[in-house]
Structure 1
Amino acid sequence: MALNKEKKYISKGYEAGAVDYITKPVDPDLLILKVKAFLKLHQQQNELKDIRDLLSKEIEIRKEAQENLELKVRERTRELSSKNEELELRNHELQQFSWVVSHDLKEPVRKIEIFTKIIKEKFLVADEKADDYINRTISSAGRMSKLITDLLEYSRLSAKVKPEKTDLNNVVFEVLSDLDYLIEEKKATVKAQHLPVIPGVPSQLRQVFQNLIGNALKFSKDDVAPVIEIGCEIITERKFDGATSPKANSAASP
């Protein structure tokens, strides 16, 4: 409570730590308003303190979460780096293994091809049937050599295998030539439509037809001559149950 309204006394009061003052005679209404104002100010200060404490806790929680996340990221990065190094090592080992295996396989195939040609030229000149079998053997040996080369290329994971224009008619012809002994043994009939030229990897497409036709022959009934039909269709969309395009007939005809 201020005893004097002069500025020097009011200044001394503020310097001493007062936040406000009232003068005599005391006005009750003014005193009540001042008390209410200070109570509200005190309440707001407490609320601000609570908010400040909550913000500090939130900052600590987020900081801890960020540190944990960074730690997990570092651990995951180290793990992926280790896995990548292991993968590179295995890839290198695979390439080395494929090269050795391919080299070891190609050499006996090459000898089969050479010796078969020698037998053909020296001993089977007049035997038409034997000559046909020899030609098939030489052709199969050549394709085997090509398959081994393709295997070596495919096993090199660092090298990208690029699709190329592949005539499926040639692919099917080669597969049927390799399986001709089984076709004869099963007395099978193979009906192949004219197939399109598509982008693809020849060795992989050949493997597809080799598996399909080979399984059809292998798992046929012993007392029933299998009939294998090979054809194609153009569909309107890339789905298993996609509708056939009107262009399908023209694409499949010879």
Structure 2
Amino acid sequence: MILIVDDRRENILPLQKILELHRFQVDTAESGEEALRKVLTTAYSVIILDVQMPGMDGFEVASAISGFSKARDTSIIFLSAVNTEKKFITRGYTAGGIDYLIKPVDPDILVLKVKTLQKLYEQQQELRATQQSLRHEIDVRKRAQEELATQVDDLQTVLASIPLMAFTVKPDGQIEYVNAHWIRYTGTDTAFPEAHPDDHFLTDWAAALVSGHEFTREVRLKELSTGRYHYHLLRAVPSRKNDSIVRWIGTFTDIHAQKQTAERLEQEVALRTQELVLNNVELERANHELQQFTWVVSHDLKEPLRKIQFLNDLIKDQFLNDNPDAATYLDRSIRASARMTSLINDLLAYAQLSAPESFQPTNLNALLDELLLDFDDSISRQRATISVGPLPILDTIPHRIRQVFQNLIGNALKFARPHVPPVIAIHAELIASKALDGPPMPDGPYCRIIVEDNGIGFNEKFSSRIFVLFQRLHNKSSVEGTGIGLAIAKKNIDKHHGLISAKSQEGEGARFILVLPIKQSEQPVALLTS
């Protein structure tokens, strides 16, 4: 903006119109005092100032304006029609004027001068803005440098206090800082510790500097005082700024004691593993010998029992037909011998379950069709009904899984309610998991088989006992049996990596649940025969 100062209005108007025609913004003042008040509140690029004015003349006004910081870039042009002598011109320049023009003024010359001074003012303002921006940038950079220096000092303080070998290096690998623990292994702060030749540490470290990725590895470092190598864990992390690595920060942690402990543990584990292998071999040998012993004992026990039963039958038929009391006692002896024979056979079957055997795909429906032929007499005599739903093909040991169904069906017929024909139902579904209540799944990896009957049942609080050897829930006199059948079934299901459970209520039948894998991933090992 341009300020025209003249005490005569008729002198202001022509200059104002000329400047406004050239698109300058123009303000006016009709005294020196008014001009000073306006300069205090408004920034002017050029002031056209008349010399002869009442009160404050132009020279006094210019001197006063030069003391205002707001007008430090303002250019002053003096106009005078009277004071044209050299001394007045000199005083004008001394008072802070840029030019001194004699009236009448050539309008074109005045406009050119104003344009030049206006452009100079704008350039000065741009320069000052640039200078201010540079000062701000310098201040920001100085504060950043101070903060960075503080952070580096803090980092070095922390690194010096930790019980590790700590260091920082420049992006080119040159060491920048090391703490006191470093000197213990190097004796200098300009080189890395000596590593074991077999660790190829320096080669790997150079590759890490090139890749720019975090570097972690174990390395053996030579201790200067002892000459011995100690295991250390190196971890070096790049510190980045604006996607560029400014330094690497790293530590060497002494893990020698942990490595020695780990090696001792590995040796202990290897020793214990070897002992377990030897013990397993001995256990398998003992198991094999026990099976052989079981065979021999069962054979030796069964042979005299057969003779006792034969002789008892012979005595009864030939000598006791006329003595009912003696025949009764002899019948009890014959039945006791039969029970002992059954017990020996069941014990022999239970002992044989420890022998490893191979799995093979088994059609359970075909297996049950064949098994039910063995129960024809009992089924006909008891007028029993047995229904078998579609069963899948499973990986089983066929004669073992046959034992399971034989015991379950046999028990269902044996523990029938008096005068009530037995009803036995067998059905299956595929499930998603090895769980008794696993959710059904069309192509599940496990099969849930349910065998249920309408027999006398049992109190469910005893369900955990019925699979234990020699456990019976019913009186011997009411139902024949050895108490081994369900224990054999449980051991067979365990051998198939499956589950078995029972649910029941007295007088309302029993429900046995089997869960078996469709495919067997574990194959049994051959038994040692030494």
TM-score, normalised on structure 2?
Answer: 0.24
Q: Which has the larger radius of gyration?
A: 2
Higher helix share: 1
Q: Which of the pair is proportionally richer in strand?
A: 2
Greater RCO (CA < 8 Å, at least 6 residues apart): 1
